[in-house]
Structure 1
Amino acid sequence: MLRLHAGHGAGQRPSRRLRLPRRSRGRAPRLRPAEIARGDLKGYWSISISGNWRMIFRFEDGDVHDVDLVDYH
């Protein structure tokens, strides 16, 4: 899980803006397989991020388009 500090980060060193929990440093993130979305999101692919949050996107001519994070509940 990535943790962001509150605020927009102005005046902070880049190393202070984004922190990884100690246990995940140096490890590749666990990725869940993408699924084809259904219902109102037909035509999109979906990847579970955490809890209710999913990243959705669609392919057009081999490129990724319309990337968004959605709370599906």
Structure 2
Amino acid sequence: MSDSSNLVQCPFCKGITATRLVPPEPANKFLLTTYDSKTNNVFATTGFSVDAYGCGSCKKVWLENSALKFVEE
């Protein structure tokens, strides 16, 4: 499901045909989580809360997390 009343510019094709994707109820966010590919264990209690966006033209999807910070090592 999407929120087509708030179209944004797609960072890939530059079309104004992208929108935030709305997760099914009762959720209000998506969670980018991890899993162990050897055991198929999913670690659903940890991860990044993200907003997902999709483009109606090029069909690409991207994720955003406003709290994401990078630290130089």
Q: Which has the higher helix share?
A: 1
TM-score by length of 1: 0.33
Higher relative contact order (CA 8 A, sep 6+): 2
